[in-house]
Chains A and B, each alone.
Chain A
Amino acid sequence: MNTPLSWIKAYVPDLDCTDQEYTDAMTLTGTKVEGFERLDKNLDKIIVGKILKIEKHPDADKLLICQVQIDEEGQTVQIVTGAPNVAEGQKVPVVLAGGRVAGSHHTGAAEGGIEIKPGKLRGVESFGMMCSVDELGSSTDFYPDAAADGIYILSDNEEYKDAPVGSDAVELLGLHDTVFEYEITSNRVDCFGVIGIAREAAATFRKEFVPPVVTETGNDEKTSDYIQVEVKDPDLCPRYIARVVKNIHLAPSPEWMQRRLAACGIRPINNIVDITNYVMEEYAQPMHAFDYDLIAGKKIVVRRAEDNEPFVTLDGQERTMDSSMLMICDAEKAIGIAGVMGGENSKITDDVKTMVFEAACFNGTNIRLTSKKLGLATEAAAKFTKGLDPNTTMEAINRACQLIDELGAGEVIGGCVDIYPEPKGDTRVGFDADKINAMLGTDVSEEQMIAYFKKIDLGYDPETKEVIVPSWRQDLLRLADLAEEVARFYGYDKIPTTLPSGAATAGGLSFKGRIENIARDMAERFGFSEGYCYSFESPKVFDKLLLDENDPLRRTVSILNPLGEDYSVMRTLPVNGILTSLATNYNRRNKNVRLYELGNVYYPKALPVTELPDERKQFTLGFYGDGDFYDMKGVLEEFLEKVGMKDLVTYNPKAGKTFLHPGRQAEMIYDGAVIGYLGEVHPDVCENYGLGEKTYLAVLDMPEIVSRANFDVKYTGIARYPAVSRDLAMVMKKDILAGDVERVLRQRGGKLLESCVLFDVYEGAQIMTGYKSMAYSLTFRAKDHTLEDKEVGAVMQKILHGLSELGITLRA
């Protein structure tokens, strides 16, 4: 919300501080100032001048030479202008040589403004410039009487025409002002209006708060003779006030009102519209005006819309309503969407004679939902959404009628029609200074606290020790709320700084957290860098990964209101993120890229979703460039060794992953449970991602790891007796896996087999087609004695026997 300081000062007349002091102090008491802008920051030496004489430029058709009077004594300067709208006798803003303007008529505002120097235009000297509104840093939007293309002719404006020559034009135009931008929190509905902010400013600077004195204006007639109101749905409309204004005289509103609105970023239109906007800025209470002559039956009915009821809003759009939305109707038809926008059929036109003025309090949530469903975000709806105070409603409409009267915009009919079935009064909150001090860690006296409350118009009942809270402070409900009021006026900065006492707690990472850190450390040791990928992705990912149409992984937790299809389902596979990131790197010609991620996948427990999904953290690794399947396998095994899961891992080549190469993938099985998988990415999938190199992936399911990891290591003693080595060269069918061979070696080798290390795999000449040769180096050792040849020979026999069962023979 933007508000000029001049408007605040109107209600805190003694306020005297710099813009920065205001910013800092208001922010520290809770009315956060986001920033401020001085309207005159780039305006200097700009005065009211009077054009005395105009001559044609001898050498340029479009230029004029003006003699301009710049002070009351009659001193003149010569100014050459190209403006089409100047005439002798006019008063205009003149920037003198050495002064500054905010921008140029052609190119708009310039950073730091533009300095005006004396110069020559086509050989004729010029000592300044006559200004357009753009050069003054504004626009015709905010100065509707200024020429759209030319100099701002001040003497055409009734309020400016008598300004003395030589006087400060920036002052005249109300530009010696600073606009502050506030961030108002949702609990402070009152501060969405100037009055609320002014009250806070007065309390912050300990100055007197002088709000506008609102009187109930009106003639001798009775509003109820003009209009009836019926509220059929009081749950959505706690209060509805109607007043009537006749003999409307539309005209521009006075400059002071226009200037304040303009500073808030609101375009002045005419007196009636401006007054409505002005009061909305002051009290945060939106109002709406209907053309009385267009209201059938002279009756207003507030009711829920019918489902599919069509309605044309005043912007000419037809909209479809539903029964959750509240409508303002006359005896026959709807004439407005409550709190959001009026109807085309009842809007004020230039011919309006009599109008009905509506000030109401609508249910904030309902207005929010209506506005959202219709995609119609109006200023009024934004205000109602906050949940307005029904008691401010009366003050606001009376203020508006008072202004109509004062500005001669029409004749206000006496009284009002006020439907307010359940009036809200003040509330009371128990007060206990000791408890507040205990909450804050302070030592503020009870008297001081009560003084703080008084400054923001909270009452105090010493009998009952209760703070009396007016209805516009709906946020003050209990002692903790009062503690905050004390804290902010005592000063958050003055509250001491201590550390919590109380029992010591152990703290630390969870076991799961430790395992994840090890995963990170190991991945990084092998050159993988950590990526972060989104948790939601497109359902098209499943096609990219060649998943079967009935694959259960296609059953996802889907977002009802996603940012788009690309972010619409919670991932059930972690590989798309890594593949996409690898592809990004590949496209950018980064070589040898290795990435990993620790992130969740989300498995629905049932569809449609009725309970929280199973969130499983996945440790995903991917790379392209140097390395192959076995490098990836090595990383996984090193990790498993670090978390105490070295021994029981086996690999099943039938992992069934569609996105991996059918002959180069494996499930990792630990003690019978699948803990993850790895493989080379299927060439078609590489193509789908635009990956032009062989790419490898591995995924470990962290819950499976965490439940099995352990750090219990027991020392086993260092071998003292010598080892015996035997090499074993074998021939076997190609489809026999090293894992199968090793299983036989281990089983048959028993306790004496210390290790078996593959040192050669060969296919080709000398070996039958369909067969391969594998060579292992076996090491035998006994714990308690030196092995004899006999013993080793016996074990070797067992091994050979086992191998022959698999059809494996020794290589000749």
Chain B
Amino acid sequence: MSIKENLERIQSEALAQIGASEHVESLNDVRVSFLGKKGALTAVLKGMKDVAPEDRPKVGQMVNDARAAIEKAMEEKRQAFLSALKAEKIKNETIDVTLPAKKPAQGHRHPNTIALEEVERIFIGMGYEVVEGPEVEYDLYNFEKLNIPEGHPAKDEQDTFYINKNIVLRTQTSSVQARIMEKGELPIRIISPGRVFRSDEVDATHSPSFHQIEGLLIDKNITFADLKGTLAEFAKQLFGEETKVKFRPHHFPFTEPSAEMDVSCFKCGGKGCRFCKGSGWIEILGCGMVHPHVLEMCGIDPEVYNGFAFGVGLERIALLKYEIDDMRLLYENDIRFLKQF
């Protein structure tokens, strides 16, 4: 048998064995038995010394070709094995995607804060600055500078907590108005959220401590129409583009003219439902043009500057927005309640 024939036989046998291999290990056996140190092809190379020198390059070439062919077949086979294995592995890695998610236990903001941030976002967008004022406040700022002098019925209506004759727990965030105006930095566009206090017993709709957001704008040539426009925009952003507003005359000692604003019921869209007690409207805030006497008391000339103010009950917004039916829930801090926001 010529070397050539021998090589062809080795090659075809090797290819046959590669083809018959069933796993990566048997492929290794093939490598050892053909290409290994004691393998068939290696044996051919070892017999090179018996080949005539002039034929050696030719034989060498043939051996190399055979080796290349075997290695190529082997590599192809190996790749096929690997991809089959990979496919099998991927197939077995299927998981139940509906099993519960793993989440770090995040905490939750209080619904009051969420409502507040919403309101802040809207007014900051309109160029308002957020400022704070003291919760324990002089009677002067809580009442007198708001046109509520000693003996005014409004003072009694508000069920004030007193620290002494001159110091109260503020009954309204409006107390911040005079503090800001007194500084005399005009124009003014502020909102001032905060805690207020009134001596109401705790029940489903009352709390001796709750929160308001006061708004104040002082500039030249401000009109009641501007007040309406600003608050209508606020209502739309807070309750949705479809929201309609209604202004009703009301009375506050520190604004004139004064109004209360209703928004169309966001539950029924104004048709009337249990939520809005059938009226289609929900009372949301009090507002008005800053009373000229209030401006005067703060050293602002009402002939030059004027403006408007409004006050929103934060809890009221939170209760309405989240349909919470009992105000006490807001102060119990039961985690099952807080988790829902």
Contacts and interface: CB of A to CB of B under 8 A. Distances in A.
Contact of B333 (A496, A506, A557, A595): A595
A349 interface: no
Contacts of A480: 256-257, 289, 291-292
A560 B199 CA distance: 12
B221 A502 contact: yes
B23 interface: no
Nearest to B303: A435
Contact of A498 (B124, B131, B229, B291): B229
A440 interface: yes
Nearest to B112: A532
Nearest to B126: A507
Nearest to A483: B257
Contacts of B258: 484
Contacts of A186: 153-154, 157, 251
Secondary structure at the B interface, as helix, strand, loop or mixed, is: mixed
A299 B152 CA distance: 33
A411 interface: no
Interface string B112-127: 1100000010011111
A525 B156 CA distance: 45
A391 interface: no
List 6 A-B pairs, minimum CB-CB distance, nearest first. Answer: A441-B225, A441-B223, A30-B249, A365-B151, A185-B251, A484-B257
A271 B229 CA distance: 54
Contacts of B138: 612
A499 B233 contact: yes
Interface in A493-538: 493, 495-510, 512-513, 520, 523-536
Contact of B339 (A365, A481, A529, A559): A529
A252 to B, nearest CB: 36
Nearest to A593: B335
Given A529-B109, A557-B163, 15 more contacts: A478-B293, A479-B292, A484-B258, A487-B249, A488-B257, A492-B228, A496-B229, A497-B229, A498-B225, A502-B219, A506-B129, A507-B127, A535-B169, A536-B169, A590-B334
Contacts of A612: 134, 136-138, 167
Contact of A524 (B108, B156, B219, B225): B108
Contact of B223 (A438, A509, A520, A615): A438
A588 B334 CA distance: 8
B162 to A, nearest CB: 4
Contact of B225 (A28, A497, A503, A509): A497
A499 B137 contact: no
Contacts of B246: 493
B50 interface: no
A497 B232 contact: yes
B128 interface: yes
Interface centre among B219, B224, B247, B332 (most CB of A within 10 A): B224
Interface stretch (A45-53, A459-467, A562-570, A770-778): A562-570
Interface stretch (B12-20, B37-45, B99-107): B99-107
Interface string A238-277: 0000000000000000000000000000000000000000
A492 B225 CA distance: 9
A481 B291 CA distance: 9
B126 to A, nearest CB: 7
19 contacts: A29-B249, A372-B156, A439-B306, A480-B291, A499-B226, A502-B220, A505-B127, A507-B127, A509-B120, A510-B129, A527-B104, A527-B105, A529-B339, A559-B163, A561-B161, A585-B335, A595-B333, A612-B136, A612-B167
Given A438-B221, A590-B336, A497 B257 contact: no
A609 interface: yes
A520 B109 contact: yes
